[in-house]
A and B are shown apart, each in its own frame.
Chain A
Amino acid sequence: MNVDLNVKPHPAFEEIFWVTLEDGSRKLGTKNFSPGNSVYGERLIKFEGTEYRLWEPFRSKLAAAILKGLKTVPVCLDQKVLYLGAASGTTPSHISDIVGENGHVYCVEFASRSLRELVNNVVAFRYNMSPILADARLPESYSRMVEQVSTIYCDVAQPEQAKLLADNADMFLAEGGWVMLAIKAQSIDVTKDPAEVIRKETAILESRGFNIKQVVGLEPFDKAHAMVVAQK
């Protein structure tokens, strides 16, 4: 089947788009904040004078979660977002697209190698992002670099991630702000079954004053992963 390439705004989420490709397939996309540059090899699409980046659900858990029926995407235009575990910037770059020039993405990453890639390949072309080489378990070590945010996205793939997220929220999250937590079910406690792990982590968030709004499984894009969305 051959159709005309087209791009339409996502009916529910601001600054997120549905891209219909020539072969009729539909992909998520965001407006490229840094036209001409691709971050992780994703395809760039020109449509009516604007450049979009395809958003790969197999590479980005946020895209996977959206495809899996996320009801709220707590990232939108002009927002400040704290991103824990930014790695080399796959998902952070799309968030940077979404929040736009008046928003800001604070990217915390522990591994210097990943951070170097993040700085050179992504942040250098996006002035709405800040790279922060730090351990997300110690929010006070980077409090100077971060302002209050309305959303914290956490994907550190470490044990104790719910606690670490709540500690960051105490310091940086606005009243009524949102958090997203990508849980790799096996990575927290290998002995427990995935559902159990997710229950435990969400219980920690609840005990720290969060309302769990939704939990979506990310299969088939990510095995044994889930995305938790909660509000303070």
Chain B
Amino acid sequence: MVKATIVESVMGAFGFGEDNILVEKMFFPKDAVETAERLKKIEDGTLIDEISGLIDNLKKKGYTQFVFENQKMAITANKKLNIEVSVEPSSEAGNLFRENLVTIALDSGFVEKPEQLRAHLHKVSMELAKIKVKKVVEKRDMLVAQAVLSVDDLDKSLNLFMGRIREWYGLHFPELDRLLEKHETYSRLVVKLGRKENFTIEKLEQEGLPQNKSKMIAEVAAASMGADIIEDDLAQIQYMCSHVLELYSLRQNLENYVEAVMDEVAPNTKAVAGSLLGGRLIALAGGLMNLAKLPASTMQILGAEKALFRSLKTKARPPKHGIIFQHPLIHDGKRWQRGKIARALAGKITIAARVDAFKGEYAADDLKADLEKRVQEITERYPNPPPTPAPTKREFKGKQKNRRQNRRNKRGPKR
């Protein structure tokens, strides 16, 4: 088993054998733009000719095991080239290479003078930074907002379709509806397994369901009260399901896109609120800049305008939270803690949006740590539900409510 370490650099790809001796190299073209493009591909885990060429040559020399410093590249090489790989972030060969970068550049004839290497390093890093930054154009916040709204539209449609499918396929296998909550799994099983007679333990497990769940479904299927179904009728349901599954993969695709773009447009908001919720807030506010200008109290009820107006009209209690209610911290919080958590969360999202809009730095880990700590304080301070007073109808006017809430704030623990 002969091991080689692959080290990539601005010059090209290098292969080191046992004792960290340089045995093979593949230079990139000396053009800075072309080099940057290659490095970007490597970063994204895309195989490029220089690397597969290098590995081919190493294989010819008898090397069978390949060490990479970066996991993404290792995974790709393993899949695409069918070679044995391992990952070692600061490999000995890599460290040696970085220590002797200038010497290697000179000895290998890549440059004649050290200054040329310095200049090349500068140019390539500029080009690579430009490629990576270029994707961040103004107004991209509105594009990501539209993508999030599309996810929401899809969810509505998917719910509608799935209600129909569950009822439709339910004529044949009514009990399944209750047993499988996840729409996607339900659809997939209908497409893959078809009629209820095929819902056996083995097949269900093959589809990735846990053992006990498979057992339960199989038992219910065997004793099902549903009517028989002919091939034609089943095929139509399956056809519908397969299209729904495609919509699910479209949804996943959109979600990945939102995730990636949010990282560039509003990384702090994304880190604190989550990418979908962050995108929804941007959409509701009409842009990142607008979102950043909102006071925390508005952030807290953004998306609950309907409820707010209703409360103004009917004198019902004003809403405590808008769509930030979707955040797991509030969602999973105890009922009586939610208002306080919502306030804390809204405060942090407000700061995050401002950093994104005005400073562009990344500071969200701090914000997240602060928030978690605040939530912990809340859960410790209010472990039990407050005693419920006899319900009294209170007069409610916008301004007054604010004052009352401020007073309540003051009584709460200080930040």
| B70 lies within 8 A of A140 (CB) | yes
Bound-state Cα–Cα, A147 to B361, Å? 26
Known: A140-B90, A147-B98, A157-B363. A116 touches B122 (CB 8 A): no
Known: A130-B125, A143-B70. A190 touches B373 (CB 8 A): yes
Q: How large is the interface on B (under 10, 10 to 19, 20 to 34, 35 or more residues)?
A: 35 or more
Known: A111-B360, A147-B101, A171-B90. A133 touches B366 (CB 8 A): no
Bound-state Cα–Cα, A87 to B365, Å? 16
Q: Which of the candidate stretches A65-73, A119-127, A216-224 sits at the interface with the other chain?
A: A119-127
B69 interface hit (Cβ, 8 Å): yes
| A111 lies within 8 A of B90 (CB) | no
Bound-state Cα–Cα, A133 to B101, Å? 21
- Considering only residues 52-93 of chain A, those with a C-beta below 8 Å from chain B are 87
| B122 lies within 8 A of A128 (CB) | yes
| B132 lies within 8 A of A112 (CB) | yes
- Partner of A119 from the list B119, B126, B362 (CB cut-off 8 Å) is B126
A148 interface hit (Cβ, 8 Å): yes
Find chain A residues with CB under 8 A from B89 CB. 139-140, 143, 171
A115 to chain B, nearest CB (A): 6
Bound-state Cα–Cα, A157 to B364, Å? 10
Find chain B residues with CB under 8 A from A157 CB. 363, 366
- Partner of A127 from the list B9, B70, B95, B119 (CB cut-off 8 Å) is B119
| B9 lies within 8 A of A144 (CB) | yes
- Partner of B132 from the list A87, A133, A174 (CB cut-off 8 Å) is A133
| B129 lies within 8 A of A132 (CB) | yes
Find chain A residues with CB under 8 A from B130 CB. 119
A199 to chain B, nearest CB (A): 18
| B122 lies within 8 A of A190 (CB) | no
| A144 lies within 8 A of B362 (CB) | no
B106 to chain A, nearest CB (A): 13
Chain B CB within 10 Å, residue with most, of A117, A128, A170, A171: A171
B380 interface hit (Cβ, 8 Å): no
B373 to chain A, nearest CB (A): 6
Known: A119-B130, A133-B132, A148-B101. A159 touches B366 (CB 8 A): yes
A60 to chain B, nearest CB (A): 16
Chain A CB within 10 Å, residue with most, of B69, B71, B119, B360: B360
| A140 lies within 8 A of B132 (CB) | no
| A190 lies within 8 A of B94 (CB) | no
Per-residue B-contact encoding for A142-161, CB less than 8 Å = 1, 0 else: 01111110000000011110
| B366 lies within 8 A of A158 (CB) | yes
Bound-state Cα–Cα, A231 to B34, Å? 38
Find chain B residues with CB under 8 A from A214 CB. none
Find chain A residues with CB under 8 A from B70 CB. 140-141, 143
B153 interface hit (Cβ, 8 Å): no
Find chain B residues with CB under 8 A from A133 CB. 128-129, 132-133
Find chain B residues with CB under 8 A from A37 CB. none
Find chain B residues with CB under 8 A from A148 CB. 95, 98-99, 101
B18 interface hit (Cβ, 8 Å): no
Main secondary structure of the interface of B (DSSP, over half): helix
Bound-state Cα–Cα, A148 to B7, Å? 14
| B90 lies within 8 A of A87 (CB) | no
Per-residue B-contact encoding for A180-192, CB less than 8 Å = 1, 0 else: 0000000101110
B8 interface hit (Cβ, 8 Å): yes
Main secondary structure of the interface of A (DSSP, over half): mixed
Find chain A residues with CB under 8 A from B9 CB. 144
Find chain B residues with CB under 8 A from A130 CB. 121-122, 125-126
Chain A CB within 10 Å, residue with most, of B362, B366, B373: B362
Find chain A residues with CB under 8 A from B219 CB. none
B39 interface hit (Cβ, 8 Å): yes
Per-residue A-contact encoding for B99-114, CB less than 8 Å = 1, 0 else: 1011000000000001
| A113 lies within 8 A of B94 (CB) | no
A114 interface hit (Cβ, 8 Å): yes
- Partner of A113 from the list B124, B126, B360, B366 (CB cut-off 8 Å) is B360
A120 to chain B, nearest CB (A): 10
B178 interface hit (Cβ, 8 Å): no
A117 to chain B, nearest CB (A): 8
| B94 lies within 8 A of A171 (CB) | yes
B264 interface hit (Cβ, 8 Å): yes
B225 interface hit (Cβ, 8 Å): no
Per-residue A-contact encoding for B351-390, CB less than 8 Å = 1, 0 else: 0000000011111011001100100000000000000000
Find chain B residues with CB under 8 A from A101 CB. 115, 118
Provide a sorted-by-A list of 29 A–B residue pairs whose CB atoms are within 8 angstroms.
A87-B361, A111-B361, A111-B362, A112-B132, A112-B133, A113-B361, A114-B360, A115-B133, A116-B133, A119-B133, A128-B122, A130-B125, A131-B129, A133-B128, A133-B133, A139-B89, A140-B71, A140-B89, A141-B43, A143-B70, A144-B39, A145-B39, A145-B124, A146-B98, A148-B101, A157-B363, A159-B366, A171-B98, A174-B99
Residues of chain A whose beta carbon lies under 8 Å from any beta carbon of chain B: 87, 101-102, 104, 106, 110-117, 119, 123-124, 127-133, 139-141, 143-148, 157-160, 170-172, 174, 187, 189-191
The 10 closest A-B pairs by CB, nearest first: A113-B360, A130-B125, A147-B101, A171-B90, A131-B129, A140-B89, A148-B99, A110-B362, A111-B362, A148-B98
